[in-house]
Amino acid sequence: MNYKIENIKQIIVSKSIKLDCGQTIKDFPIAYETYGELNKEKSNAILIFHALSGDQFVSGTNPVTNKDGWWYTAVGPGKAVDTGKYFIICANVLGGCMGSFGPKNLNLADGEPYGLKFPVITIRDMVRAQESLLEHFKIKKLLSVLGGSMGGMQLLQFCALYPDKTFSAVPIASTASHNAQQIALNELARQAIMSDPLWNKGNYYKDKKSPKNGLAVARMAAHITYMSDKGLQERFGRKLQEKKDYEFTFDADFQVESYLRHQGNVFVDRFDANSYLYLSRAMDYFDLSKQFKNGLVGAFQDHKTKFLIISFSSDWLYPTKNSKDIVIALNASRTNVAFAEIKTDKGHDSFLVNEPEFLETLKGFLDSNYEIFKNEKRI
């Protein structure tokens, strides 16, 4: 990473958290950002969980990269998640690289960055760490939790662990566990990173020579899964990159090649390769049904949380079936659940772009539940 991380908001989690791998951590930082104002009744708080390549900077301008926040299409004044009405909290996940405790933090035992000495973490570990933010803000119950992709996994885990800490929940384009194909795609990305000679078994911080090539390839491979076949074809097709014919080299002849290379090169300037390994592994380990005696149904048995499950018709990374499996389990557990499949050709990343039907659906759900939750808080 080339960006300097300064003036990041952090809390220090002083309580001990026993990780799923067996190790215990305490007195570690969790970085976060907030948007909007928390009202007097504390009835307007929304916790957003970010995806693998995201961070705490949801909206506005990211002060580290000077680019738009990753969910600026949905979060902001007058938007679907209206920061003039709601108080938004988003944390950088445990294992991340934007101020939270992760592999590039210094290990006090030897004064060197952790690298691969950092404990292997899970989605459940991430959620336990982020729950400390509710204690920090003295929020007993959230209006809602939102999250797409890996953020949706965290959301499901949060609701299963803390059934009384949110009134509503919106998992978006997500899954309750990875299948073989999803694990395989993550392994491809990890191998790209670990095959880069500069990775040096995770010990690249001291030399300041990060495995950029491997990380860029990992990002390129992942980015293909975020788009749909139709979306790629309509945007790029077989268009050449500022040339009239093939050059008969291995440079980028096609526009789609140039686009993917750009995505890879931009990503390596803001993300840590080891964090990518840890977060993708946490996604692969996630299997909510294994945590409960009655499987996925048991995870939400008789919960009072109101769910809206959203999927996208052209998402082949986390297809609608993954969302429907969650809906079926929620119905079987007698939980209040609604489901919406948004018709779009923008693929998995549909929740990150200006997709009007999705944004209207999200806004309607939040606004209607806010009125109900406010009235409940007054009683």
| Helix then strand then coil, % of the chain, to nearest 5 | 40, 20, 45
**CB of 77 closer than 8 Å to CB of 304:** no
**226: Cβ–Cβ under 8 A, 6 or more apart, which residues?**
317, 347, 348, 349
Of 59, 149, 168, 275, which one is the catalytic site residue?
A: 149
Where does residue 47 fall: left (phi above 0), alpha (psi -120 to 50 degrees), or beta otherwise?
beta
Q: Which two tokens stand for residue 99?
A: 């101020």
**CB of 305 closer than 8 Å to CB of 336:** yes
Closest CA to 176 of 153, 160, 155: 153
Question: Which backbone phi and psi does 240 adopt, to 5 degrees?
Answer: -85, 155
**CB of 166 closer than 8 Å to CB of 144:** yes
Gap between the Cα atoms of 342 and 120, Å rounded: 35
**348 in catalytic set:** yes
Of 50, 178, 303, 348, which one is the catalytic site residue?
A: 348
- Count CB-CB contacts under 10 A for residue 301: 16
- What H or E segment, with its residue span, contains residue 144? strand 142-148
Of 132, 315, 333, 349, which one is the catalytic site residue?
A: 315
**251 in catalytic set:** no
Gap between the Cα atoms of 349 and 315, Å rounded: 8
**149 in catalytic set:** yes
Residues with a catalytic annotation lie at 149, 315, 348
